[in-house]
């Protein structure tokens, strides 16, 4: 199934990259001061494979294999395009030149009242505020377009940078636990955070808090 992804030849222009490959009316393109969050494209495969093939990233998220190959990237883009992973999956790209930086997305529970936020950035793009910018945009979109009461986020206990991103978005600590790690082949300790709609609305009204 991975081989069914065919490359398109010349790379698209930044303007063409803004156009999703399929209609995702419930997952609109998101614009921030420095970023464009849009559907993953075949043009992203090489950059995706290059950035994701990093143990420092794979060991901090639960479902990223390591090593991460071009075939893995092809399969990810295919499944994201087909809508078989997550509720909304986005490529995080720079607004000025369209450079691929990483991915983010939301997943929903069976009852549809809560979604979970996820994200990762390539290591060359760490410590620049991109993750917070993307996470805030995705959090705002989820509460504005979905009838959800809560939004969850998790990070590995040792992942200080991810914890800061989650806290900057207004999430509050709920507890800790274990989740399976594909890269490590075992379980990792994670912290669980939650943001409810009332708190989100308060943060939006405060303005400076966001």
How many whole angstroms separate alpha carbon 9 and alpha carbon 180?
38
Joined tokens for residue 10: 């010349």
Joined tokens for residue 114: 């809560």
Q: What is the pLDDT of residues 61-112, one digit of tens each?
A: 999 999 999 999 999 999 999 888 777 999 999 999 999 999 999 988 656 7
From the CB of residue 185, how many other CB atoms can be counted at a distance below 10 Å? 8
Axis-axis angle for helices 130-145, 197-206 (nearest 10): 120
Indicate the pTM of the whole model: 0.84
Q: What is the pLDDT of residues 137-169, one digit of tens each?
A: 999 999 999 999 999 999 999 999 999 999 999
């Amino acid at each position: 199934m991975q081989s069914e992804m065919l490359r398109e030849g010349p790379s698209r222009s930044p303007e063409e990259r803004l156009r999703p490959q399929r209609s995702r009316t419930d997952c609109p393109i998101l614009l921030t001061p420095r970023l464009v969050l849009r559907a993953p494209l075949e043009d992203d495969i090489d950059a995706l494979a290059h950035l994701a093939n990093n143990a420092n990233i794979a060991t901090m998220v639960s479902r990223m294999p390591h090593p991460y190959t071009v075939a893995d990237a092809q399969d990810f883009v295919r499944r994201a395009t087909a809508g078989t992973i997550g509720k909304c999956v986005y490529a995080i790209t720079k607004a000025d030149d369209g450079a691929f930086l990483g991915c983010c997305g939301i997943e929903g529970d069976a009852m549809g009242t809560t979604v979970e936020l996820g994200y990762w950035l390539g290591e060359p793009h760490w410590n620049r505020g991109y993750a917070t910018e993307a996470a805030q945009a995705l959090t705002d979109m989820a509460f504005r377009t979905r009838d959800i009461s809560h939004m969850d986020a998790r990070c590995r206990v040792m992942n200080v940078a991810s914890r800061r991103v989650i806290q900057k978005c207004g999430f509050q600590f709920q507890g800790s636990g274990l989740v399976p790690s594909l890269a490590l082949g075992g379980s990792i300790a994670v912290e669980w955070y939650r943001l409810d709609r009332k708190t989100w609305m308060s943060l939006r009204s405060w303005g400076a808090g966001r």
